[in-house]
Amino acid sequence: MKVAIASDHGAVELRKEVMKVMDELGIEYEDFGCDGSCSVDYPDYAIPVAEKVANGEFDRGILLCGTGIGMSIAANKVSGIRCALVHDLFSAKATREHNDSNILAMGGRIMGPGLGAEIARVWLTTEFEGGRHERRVGKITDYEKKSLS
């Protein structure tokens, strides 16, 4: 698995913790996040990462900002992206098993780095169940294709 990760200024510390988890799991990743605490615009990070996932350059993405809300909204504008905003372990697992989410969004001002790291671990190690969920995700994909034509 290859993961693209980025954060704005609101989640630099959380990004560092999530990268440690990927190092521990032996997951290949590339960091597209901002370097410091100076204010930046989250779409400048969310959209390029989402495009890289959508075009198959990366298998999944992780986007982090103050709340995770802005990153998730921006990422979900890119065709083919199913970005899930997650703040708990159950949702991290469910969004992979049931929704085949390909981008995880979290908020560095919403949770501590320990919880964020555990959420990332669960999300990264959970597989899509398929089955009835495949049909449901397919309906989203079909609608997306139809709306683009």
Both tokens of residue 25? 């799991």
In the block, which residue shows the tokens 């703040």? 87
Return the closest-CA partner of residue 82 out of 100, 66, 59, 65. 100
Are 18 and 45 in contact, with CB atoms under 8 Å apart?
Answer: no
Positions annotated as catalytic residues are: 65, 98
Q: What are phi and psi of 95, to 5 degrees?
A: -70, -25
